Chains A and B, each alone.
Chain A
Amino acid sequence: MKKKINFKNFSIYFDQYLFISITLLSIMGLFFLYSASQEDLNTVIKQSIFVGFGLMLMFAVSQLDPDFYKMSSGLFLVVSIVLIFITILFGKEINGAKRWLDLGFFTLQTSEIVKIALPIFLASYLYNKPLPISPKHTFITLILISFIFFLVYRQPDLGTGLVVFMAGVYILFLAGLSWKFIFTSFGLIVLSLPFLWNNFLQPFQRQRILTFLDPSSDPYGSSWNITQSKIAIGSGGMSGKGFQEGSQAHLNFLPEAETDFIFAVIAEEFGFVGVCILLSIFFFILLRCLYLAFNARDRFCRLTIGGLSLVFASTLFINLGMVVGIIPVVGMPMPFISKGGSSLLSFYIAFGIIISMATHKKLMQK
């Protein structure tokens, strides 16, 4: 039950369903990470500090009133865009990509912030616009989305860029984008695909898509990741090889086992049964979000809950799709499970905001 609990003069805003299921996922994630990191306690301790801090952050964030987010969303967006600029100028370069800002105690992936800031800002921008959204507002929104997508894409980080883009589009769609616009633009996108392919994608991105389409073309080249990931998942079978028994992960065949491909480790060690149990928790979280969105107090909250939950779902499905080879490798962590502070914290914040939106009620409502 999402409810505010009254302690005389102050209230605590809390949703035990989301809190328990997210805590459960996080703890399971620590165990998975322990195995995926080949029993490296340092990694697990560092991650558990993030988990603990993240859960507290989620709780803290959910105490703030939605009106606070509505009013400061513009500021958040500006701050996160400035952070991306700073990253592009002064960021830490890893593997040719400038995505990280070194804060000394923590390297921040700034695009993770804008992934939350953008949908909240758009919700605050669109919540009072009449239906359907007028071409003018649609246009302004799309320009903003494209601008931020372009910034993230330039880092380069196509995966997060796509999620940011999708986050914006979800809000626009949920807020009531006209169907006419949707169908015409969809047609235009399909027509412009060849142009995008030739002018917009980096050679390595094209290569990824090509090897995705035919993984057998170079088993030890760029599709090595997909091949090894599929072997790990497939060899897990129905019940898995057992905790810490996955040979693909433990003998280093699986690339990025702690981050992008951690699902393959889980599938290898816990089998189809383990996969189903894990996914049912994710599924439960999504259903809970759907329920909360339907029962939110106003349009702004609805849009925010809907948008953020869809960002969460998109991240999850891009990760899963990549790991089993349905979509090309884009570099996407599994929420609450993969190693990596920024992504982890951003989702705790996102769910903190969702809880805030769901639990703060106005008496005048209903």
Chain B
Amino acid sequence: MINLEERVVEKKSFFKRLLIVYLFFALIFIFFLQRTYSLQVSEFNNYDLAALENKTKEVLVQPIRGIIYDRNGNILVNNVPSYDLIIKPWQISNIDNFIKEISLFIDLKQSEIDFVLENFKQKSRYNRELILKKDLTKVEIARFEVRSFKFPNAFIDERYSRKNKYPQLFSHAIGYVGGVSNDQLSTILEDQSLNQDETVFRYSNGFLIGKTGIENTYDKMLRGLFGKKIYEVDARGKLLRQTDFIQPINGDNLFTSLDLDSHKVAFEKMNNRRGAVVAIEIESGSIVTYLSTPSFSSNDISNGISSKAFNALLKDANKPFFDRAAQGRYSPASTIKPAIGLFGLDEGLIDWSFSIDDPGYFILPEDQRVYRGWRKGGHGNVNLNKAMIVSSNTFFFSLAYQSDIDDLIKHLSNFGFGRNVCIDCFNPDIGLLPNPEWKMNNLNFGWFKGDTVNLGVGQGYLSVTPLQLAYYASVIANKGSHKKLTLVENQVPKILENLPVKKIQNSDWEKMHSSMIGVIDDPQGTAKRLKDLKTYTVAAKSGTVELVSTETKEDYRIIRENEGNRDHAIIIAFGPMPEPKYAVSVIIENGESGGSVAGPVAIAVLNSLIKK
């Protein structure tokens, strides 16, 4: 035991030490209160927001894509509703029994059942819907509706499909839609500063994006803006109740310059031959016809196609997916001659009275190489007018021979060759406008004079697309100035291009027009068979693209046994003259004769356009 004195000391020591600990705790207490104050008062806004974000879940609502019209207000692409059977998994206790009961009156495929069984548990846990069967028939809808009181855990809802009303006619011009990659989706959602999240789909196929054609180039406009359903969720992400709904804004409708009737006519006349038809309204630069054949059904691609059928399309030797109108590369052949003639006039190399003797061939002075015309024996004495009508190669060989290659290339570029002439086309090819530098870099050869001579009749390295040919035709029709091509009006700025000229005058353009009229109307014209297919005047230039070089008609007869060796038929035309409204280019692969094979298609399209 300790004595009394020590007890007093002990008591004091105890009080002191207990107070020390209490003071220590008081400090912690103050620190704690300060901490709580800073959380609850100073940083309240941040934490309040964090709590709100915790319990809020946004579900995106897909907008409906805009409708695509032709220039006369005809609907080309629409959204067609289908009716899908949708179930609420969280209200279904036994999915096997549920499927058994539904199967009694609605036929379910094994794949549909498998899909539901695979996803049932997860969707159930998070209160999410699940599509049991897509595209119900009217009978199935009726069968379900009369029994719907027995199935509070299922309902029928409208879901859309993207449908082109003329799937074969516009499969390249308008293109198709398809599924979205994750990267694309993030980009789309970032445009609206949304997060990639769950989505209520309005389309049966989920997210859609324009893959090709106008659907692609105008995707952002057609797409619309996502809406949002805002839910309260718990920590596991289970939807508890909807707190807000921001309606989606559907995509804008798109009024294209495409002309339905001319497409119908062109498609019928092409008759599934390989080729392309492009027609342009000259004044506006609007593309009114844009057809590549053979075609495919854009609806099959947009809305699902069996892989077998898809592979068949891919492997088809006629390459239906290939957009010949904007991506097909062809030698322009004789259709280049108006441009060469205009070059000669502009440079002062020739005038309209200048003439040469055409023996049927041209001999290159440098190496005595012979360049043949299409007609044995030639066309006699030819001036520019006659050379255009009868398509004298010798005249243009000789004219090209005198040309400076750099000036000539610049001139051809002004007509749209070797560059993009369309503002809103999908992936247009620029073709190939060769020059000495290109030849050295790619073929490791210097430029021969013979290359320039070949260029004079559109053979050799030069290659162009039907779209460029149509543009070229309208530049000639419009006497040197033209607007860049567009597919949709009022959405992209019109760009006017003027052909820079030195000596060419209005009278030269008129004479060029009249010699191109002669191509059809003159008894000697290469396209004279077209004369009676129309009731108005048309200017044209036909061409025949040699794929295999032959010396004689006999030789050609042999090589034409193989269809792929036959010449391409090609024509450019515009009318009605003297004030042309439409220009058209037609290419038919292995069609052999520009005037008589490609020509009738061009005239039929012009007829359809001008009739209105």
Contact = CB atoms under 8 A, between A and B. Distances in A.
The answer to whether A and B belong to the same complex is yes
Interface stretch (A144-152, A194-202, A247-255): A247-255
Interface string A281-319: 001001000100110000100110010001001000100
A251 B233 contact: yes
30 contacts: A174-B21, A176-B10, A176-B14, A228-B54, A230-B39, A231-B47, A231-B54, A233-B40, A234-B46, A235-B47, A236-B40, A237-B41, A238-B44, A247-B51, A247-B55, A251-B235, A252-B236, A253-B235, A271-B40, A272-B37, A290-B22, A294-B15, A299-B7, A306-B18, A306-B21, A310-B25, A317-B29, A317-B32, A320-B32, A325-B35
A313 B28 CA distance: 11
Interface of B: 1-2, 6-7, 9-11, 13-15, 17-18, 21-22, 25, 28-29, 31-33, 35-37, 39-41, 43-44, 46-48, 50-52, 54-55, 232-236, 240
A45 interface: no
Interface string A202-218: 00000000000000000
Interface of A: 128, 130-131, 170, 173-176, 228, 230-238, 247-248, 251-253, 267-268, 271-272, 275-276, 279, 283, 286, 290, 293-294, 299, 302-303, 306, 310, 313, 317, 320-321, 324-326
B32 A233 contact: no
B1 to A, nearest CB: 6
Nearest to A321: B32
Contacts of A268: 51
B35 A275 contact: no
Contact of B32 (A128, A170, A286, A326): A326
B37 A310 contact: no
Contacts of B55: 247, 251, 253
B21 A310 contact: yes
B54 A283 contact: no
Nearest to A247: B55
Contacts of A131: 2, 6, 9-10, 13
Contacts of B13: 131, 176
Contact of A306 (B14, B28, B37): B14
A272 B36 contact: yes
A315 B240 CA distance: 37
Contacts of B52: 235
9 closest residue pairs by CB, A with B: A234-B47, A235-B51, A252-B235, A251-B234, A234-B39, A272-B40, A253-B235, A235-B47, A231-B50
A293 B18 contact: yes
Nearest to B43: A234
Contact of B36 (A174, A275, A299, A310): A275
Nearest to A229: B39
Name the residue in B15, B21, B41 with the highest tally of chain A Cβ atoms < 10 Å from its Cβ: B21
Given A253-B235, A286-B22, 15 more contacts: A131-B2, A131-B6, A228-B54, A230-B47, A233-B36, A234-B40, A248-B54, A251-B233, A253-B55, A267-B39, A268-B51, A294-B18, A299-B11, A303-B14, A317-B25
